Amino acid sequence: ITLIGQTTTCLGLVMALPSQVCAQLCSRPCYCPWAPPHCPPGSPLVLDGCGCCKICARRLGEHCDFLHICDQSQGLICDYHTASAGTGATCNFEDNEEGCEVHGRVYRDGEVFQPSCKLQCRCLDGGFTCVPLCQEDVRLPTPDCPYPRRVEIPGKCCPEWICDAQDQHFRRDAVAASSLLSYLCQEWSTEWSACSVTCGVGFSTRVSNQNRYCRLETQRRLCMARPCPALPAAFPAVS
């Protein structure tokens, strides 16, 4: 009970007193739960503001105070500028840069990251955009591959196309027919589409049969319309 009362007093004075004074108001010895709390992904166990008990660090945008501190490993501090507006203090970046949180991890504005081996993303203005790293071509049935299937290969990130041999006699005939097909195939393709982003690295697509088996497939390549402009420098916080 004494700890709760002193903590409340400290919270009321935190806007006017330095942290050293608040630390003196924490009672000793510490009385903590026998088992530490179970924290959500991206929220590590840290000591509370009194330096007594293990608590879950608060994440970006979550409420905070002297006792419930923010995740300093992510560059977060307890921002009391919002407390004057009556909304309470919240965890924010120290330099007031916007960021984004993906799967419990906070990324800085402009940071490039890969949430999985199949995607590459970029944090921008509190959100993020992603570009696929795996080809998304469509394989149609052909004489030499009448039953194509796309499967996950152990040890590889991107799925690959395989051909199921349903009939060995039909397959041998198909191989012979494929040699004749190469002479009869007329190459055809659409124009490359516009780049998927207006600046930076993106991708464009087209449909073409310019391949060994003269089959229609969606092809993808990287593109860059223009470099992205440099991000403006963050203004220092006004005290």
How many Cβ atoms sit within 10 Å of the Cβ of residue 235? 8
pTM of this prediction? Answer: 0.36
What is the Cα–Cα distance from 226 to 200, expressed in whole angstroms?
Answer: 6
Count of helix runs (H) and strand runs (E) in the chain: 3, 13
- CA 64 to each of CA 37, 45, 48, 145, 237: distance values in angstroms, whole numbers, following the listed order: 17, 15, 11, 61, 19
Identify the structural domains of the chain with CATH numbers, from first to last: 23-95 (4.10.40), 100-132 (2.10.70), 138-165 (no CATH), 188-226 (2.20.100.10)
Please give the helix or strand (H or E) that residue 19 lies within, else none: helix 19-24
Question: pLDDT tens digits for 170-220?
Answer: 555 555 555 555 556 777 788 888 888 888 788 888 888 877 777 788 888
Question: pLDDT tens digits for 82-118?
Answer: 666 666 788 887 765 567 878 878 888 788 988 888 8
What is the Cα–Cα distance from 122 to 155, expressed in whole angstroms?
Answer: 26
- Return the structure tokens found at 14: 């935190």
